[in-house]
Amino acid sequence: MLADMPLTPLISTWPVQANKMLAGAAGRAPQPPEINALSGRSRSEAAPSPAAGRWPRPHQSTCPADAPGAFATTEVLNMRKLPLLLTLLILAPSAQAETDSGGVLPSYQQALEAYQAERASPPPKLDAADRAVMERAAADLADAMPEPGLAVGARAPDFRLANAFGESVRLAEALAQGPVVLTFYRGAWCPYCNLQLHALQQALPQIEAHGAQLIAVTPQLPDQSRKQVEEDGYPFEILSDLDDRVMQAYDLYFEVPADLNEVYQDRLDLDLAAYNGPGRHVLPVPATFVIDTNGVIQAAFADVDYRRRMEPAAIVAALAALE
């Protein structure tokens, strides 16, 4: 089970997120080459290494803490293992927002609060030394990535990745059909990611009503994504960024430091390599981008606090503004 963890007030980072979501496009950057993770190289050039300066330098850090001194989590529980009743309750109409057309949208924040309220709070697995490791890594990540993710107005880097069934999916081809809601999540092991994916699944009719499609990107192996698709019935694409280049291109990539990885494995029974592949102790900062048909980011939300996600209502509002 997960140790209870109080919500961190949103006021500290809301101005940054509001500016990134609402600022007008400030011009368009040149179209970058397609990132082809299937072959490991760009369609127009050989894949450069991070050392060559082509991609952002990897940040060695971790999932962020609560407020300073209050980090206490054993969140290695897959939401699929929670009782079905709880999943239904946290995404029930009482936790949904009404749209202009009279429909309802799930609220991620209310689902999160309900989830935390329903959880049992057994004695934490982490001792003081473990928490010190996590707090230090969280502070390092916040320092290294004060404003993660590409900003509104930036051109979304094109890419080609394999989906849960090994099929190739290219962003440019999806954008030729309409706007794209592109979301990055940590993996099937993350309960907050599963909360978000369930909320997005419920919001999919409203997303598609605006001619858009939802695409999720994760560092985990396709087999892990396939389990999610088969067990949770996700109808949208889940793509695997197996060489980290898409996470890097969207300025979301970071590496989990060795001491934190030991805490994950020894204390929380979480082996990232079992999900991501051998030696890949990497994660993205969770983020969501609304991309128009010209490939320009029109709304963005990214936060090193992995519990904070873009609300479905905000996504649908951004899509409506494109019309």
Amino acid 61 reads S
The answer to whether residue 33 sits within a structural domain is no
Q: Give per-residue pLDDT as tens, 62-96.
A: 333 333 222 233 344 333 334 333 333 334 433 34
- pLDDT at residue 98 greater than cutoff 60: no
Question: Is the predicted pLDDT of residue 128 greater than 60, yes or no?
Answer: yes
Question: What CATH number is given to the structural domain containing 134?
Answer: 3.40.30.10
- Is 163 among the domain residues? yes
The predicted-structure confidence for 189-211, as pLDDT tens digits, reads as follows 999 999 999 999 999 999 999 99
Average pLDDT of 118-146?
84
> Average pLDDT, stretch 220-234?
95
pLDDT of residue 102: 52
Q: How many domains does the chain have?
A: 1
pLDDT(132) > 70: yes
Look at strands 168-170 and 159-163 and give their pairing: antiparallel
Note the pLDDT of residue 94: 36
Identify residue 263 by its one-letter amino acid code. V
Q: Averaged over 146-175, what is the pLDDT?
A: 97
Task: Measure Cα distances from 219 to 67, 139, 241, 243, 276 in Å.
Answer: 27, 23, 5, 8, 6
Q: Is residue 1 part of a domain?
A: no
3-state helix/strand/coil string of the chain? CCCCCCCCCHHHCHHHHHHHHHCCCCCCCCCCCCEECCCCCCCCCCCCCHHHCCCCCCEECCCCCCCCCCCCCCCCCCHHHCCHHHHHHHCCHHHEEECCCCCEEECHHHHHHHHHHHCCCCCCCCCHHHHHHHHHHHHHHHHHCCCCCCCCCCECCCEEEEECCCCEEEHHHHHCCCCEEEEECCCCCCHHHHHHHHHHHHHHHHHHHCCCEEEEEECCCHHHHHHHHHHHCCCCEEEECCCCHHHHHCCCEEECCHHHHHHHHHCCCCCHHHHHCCCCCEEECCEEEEECCCCEEEEEEECCCCCCCCCHHHHHHHHHHCC
* pLDDT reported for residue 252: 98
| Residue 18 maps to a domain | no
Pick 107 or 85 by higher pLDDT. 107
Domain that holds residue 176: 54-321
All residues at 6 or more sequence positions from 6 whose CB lies less than 8 Å from its CB, including other chains:
66, 67, 70
Residue 39 within any structural domain of the chain: no
Confidence of residue 121 (pLDDT cuts 50, 70, 90): low
Q: What's the whole-number mean pLDDT along residues 4-20?
A: 31
Query: What are 261-308's pLDDT values in tens digits?
Result: 999 999 889 999 999 999 999 999 999 999 999 999 999 999 999 989
49-63, 113-127, 218-232, 244-258 — which is least confidently predicted?
A: 49-63
Kindly report the pTM of this predicted structure. Answer: 0.72
Residue 37's pLDDT band, with cuts at 50, 70 and 90, is: low
